[in-house]
Amino acid sequence: MNDFTLNGQQNLILLVDDLATNLHVLVSALKTDFRLKTATSGASALMLMENKAELPKILILDVKMPGMSGIEVLSKMRNDPRLCDIPVILVSADASEKNELDGLNLGADDYLVKPISANTLIVRVQNLIQRNAERSKLRLASYVFNYSGEAIMITDSNNRILDVNSSFCKMTGYDKAQVLCKNPSILSAGRNTKEEYRVMWDTILTEGYWQGEIWDKRRDGTTYPKMLTISVVRDRTGGIEFYLASFVDISRYKDAEKRIKHLAHHDSLTELPNRLHLQVFLEQTMYIAQRKSERLAVMFLDLDRFKNINDTLGHPIGDTLLIQVATRLKRCMRTYDMVARLGGDEFVVVMRGRDVDSAAAKVAAKINQYLSEPFLIGTHTLRVSTSIGIAIYPDNAEKIDDLMKNADTAMYFAKEDGGNTFRFFLADMNKHAYEKLSMENQLYVALERKEFQLYYQLQLDDKGKPLGAEALIRWIHPERGMVSPMMFIPLAEEFGLILQIGHWVLEQACAQIKNWQENELTRHLILAVNVSARQFCLPDFSQEVQQIVLKHGINPALLKLEITESLLLKNIEDIISTMNELRLFGIQFSLDDFGTGYSCLQYLKRLPLNQLKIDKSFINDLATDANDVAIVRTIINMAKNMNLDVIAEGVETEKQRAILLSNGCTHFQGYLFSKPVPIEVFEILLKKLEA
């Protein structure tokens, strides 16, 4: 048995003949174009094919051989699943019709009579290889057609159904016999317009291909959306021979898309429209009011004493109450009005009409009445009321933000009047501006008299080891006592005093780090300081920070600046430049309130951050809201993938901590560990933890 192998040729041919001279003739004719193997008997040929991993593309087989004839070899091959598809050319010196018929009946692909012309042999072999390749493609196409997960339909040039696969029958509910020779329009749900179909067919006929979404109907009458692809199959003359259509049911994707859109525009707790939806609705309603010469009423609602219920009975009871409040509010509305939830216990109602003042007053009174009735939640009978402020467009404001602001102002007047009532916005309510001015003056005095103080809230790792603290400013007013930062920080931002306050905070924080550096117990602690967007955007902010650090002689790595997502709305390139400069100096950065603002991931990956801080709003309902768990898990995984630390703020319960731990969060801050406390109390707490 000789082995003729020609490198570089793809197709292997096995030549079988008991006479060496005949093999020599075959080899001489084929050796230029093919890799060759030879066998001198039928038995050795079968053994060669059984023992080799690579099977020949073609077998050229002598009919008459001693021991086992070519006809017997062919018979064994056709009964062997491994060898049955190998093309066979029978070769014989016997030109009798019987031998040829016997071979062809057993499945021979060709029959040649000796002596054989070399050119004839090459052409027959090449043609057979080509036909076999085409048969392989047809077998593959048939397999794809029969076993594809997509529904496939073939129609003729007149768009009559010729064939469908099993996935088609499964998806549509029709048997093949029920649709053959029918027009595919039997599947139409009637939801697509004639114009849509016209455009579809124009595209198919001009471009030979179309893909898009249409609605179809199953045999049982149910409708469903599908992604349909139609291709034209043309004959050699360019005429249309077939249309090949494949499609998949995209109901799940459409449902998911609808759900995502709903979640983007609706509050997950109450299912009411959210702030984003309210903004869009207000813009549209203002346009309609202008066009119809109507007026618009915006009603700002805030529940009275809701915080007491939340603090006393817990968030689950509070959430249930909010759901029932939303239900009652919807009962008070006309069909074309809107009630939305801004967040917390704040709701907004939008109404329009020519006599909208009177309608708003009636609806507000109705809301006050409905919400003052008892709420039954489990074993609790709860009573709340609501304060309502009403602003009218265009009387009180012509812009959405101003209208909302005025409604909010009126609501505070209703609350100051004892709650459970409503007030229309009036021009003299601008006395609120004078109160703000008074607060501004008091802030200046507070700076001069050093009424501010830094409090420190502990930050720990998963083993309870102190990592550092967040420095939080407090205003100890000589008459009012402790003034919440929620009251004076926004005013300081508005009046520009935040720059002086921010500088003072940095000075105090660095002085404290200096004290810690001199103590073995605290020298490793990192102090986080909040920096306002306005302060950070100062041209010389980087120099300011570096000078303060050098002045106090501290390790810059122990100072961490916390920035908020609102900062990213500024000139991002300048922000990144300032951050890079400070990072090179050694300062750390944490992105505060992550997930609540306007983070753009394109920019986020460029920021030289050390840490992401998960906002308290995602932690509050972690034990009861699967959406919050999913969001927190996503933030943690993203932070890890970006090689960032992640810290959760607002951790108040062991359950929250356990969920955070199970999802990979290892840094914590919140009332579970410590409230913000003066430095003396903080350092006592440190000693207890280290003990």
Continuous segment of H or E residues that includes residue 454: strand 452-461
Q: Is 596 helix (H, G, I), strand (E, B) or coil?
A: coil
- Selection from 469, 543, 476, 467 nearest residue 503 by Cα: 543
Q: Tell me the per-residue pLDDT of 210-228, one tens digit each, with 9 for 90 and over.
A: 999 999 999 999 999 999 9
Question: Contact, 483 vs 540, CB < 8 A?
Answer: no
| pLDDT above 70 coverage of the chain, percent | 93
Question: Contact, 395 vs 295, CB < 8 A?
Answer: yes
Question: For 363, which DSSP code?
Answer: H
Extract long-range pairs of 492-495: CB within 8 Å, 24+ residues apart: 492/443, 493/532, 493/534, 494/436, 495/440, 495/443
Distance CA 524, CA 468 (A): 8
Q: What is the mean pLDDT of residues 384-407?
A: 91
Distance CA 579, CA 407 (A): 39
- Selection from 167, 123, 132 nearest residue 146 by Cα: 167
Beta strands in 516-644 (DSSP E): 526-530, 559-564, 588-594, 611-614
| Model confidence band, residue 594 (pLDDT cutoffs 50, 70, 90) | confident
User: Which residue, chain included where needed, has tokens 């915006």?
Assistant: 298
Q: What is the mean pLDDT of residues 163-191?
A: 90
pLDDT at 619 over 90: yes
Among 261-265, 352-356, 429-433, 671-675, where is mean pLDDT lowest?
Answer: 429-433
Averaged pLDDT of the chain: 87
Q: Tell me the per-residue pLDDT of 523-549, one tens digit each, with 9 for 90 and over.
A: 999 999 999 988 998 999 999 999 999
Question: Contact, 363 vs 397, CB < 8 A?
Answer: no
| Model confidence band, residue 604 (pLDDT cutoffs 50, 70, 90) | confident
User: Which residue, chain included where needed, has tokens 């179909």?
Assistant: 197
User: Which pLDDT belongs to residue 609?
Assistant: 93
Distance CA 425, CA 396 (A): 7
Q: Which pair of structure tokens corresponds to residue 67?
A: 């021991």
Amino acid at residue number 219: R
pLDDT at 7 over 70: no
Q: Tell me the per-residue pLDDT of 623-674, one tens digit each, with 9 for 90 and over.
A: 999 999 999 999 999 999 999 999 999 999 999 999 999 999 999 999 999 9
- Selection from 313, 323, 312, 324 nearest residue 375 by Cα: 324
Distance CA 501, CA 475 (A): 11
Going along the chain from its start, the domains and CATH numbers come out as 3-145 (3.40.50.2300), 148-254 (3.30.450.20), 266-425 (3.30.70.270), 436-690 (3.20.20.450)
Q: Which pair of structure tokens corresponds to residue 586?
A: 């050694």
Question: Contact, 587 vs 556, CB < 8 A?
Answer: yes
Q: What is the mean pLDDT of residues 557-578?
A: 85
Question: For 677, which DSSP code?
Answer: B
- Selection from 531, 659, 641 nearest residue 593 by Cα: 531
Q: Which pair of structure tokens corresponds to residue 16?
A: 């079988």
- The pTM of this model reads 0.43
User: Which pLDDT belongs to residue 335?
Assistant: 80
- Selection from 343, 357, 374 nearest residue 423 by Cα: 357
Distance CA 213, CA 571 (A): 41
Q: Tell me the per-residue pLDDT of 302-332, one tens digit each, with 9 for 90 and over.
A: 998 888 788 778 889 999 999 999 999 998 8
Continuous segment of H or E residues that includes residue 28: helix 20-30
Q: Which pair of structure tokens corresponds to residue 680?
A: 């003396």
For residue 668, give every residue at least 6 positions away whose Cβ sits within 8 Å of its Cβ, in sequence order, or none. Answer: 459, 460, 461, 462, 647, 648, 651, 657, 660
- 3-state helix, strand, coil split of the chain in percent (to 5) is 45, 25, 30
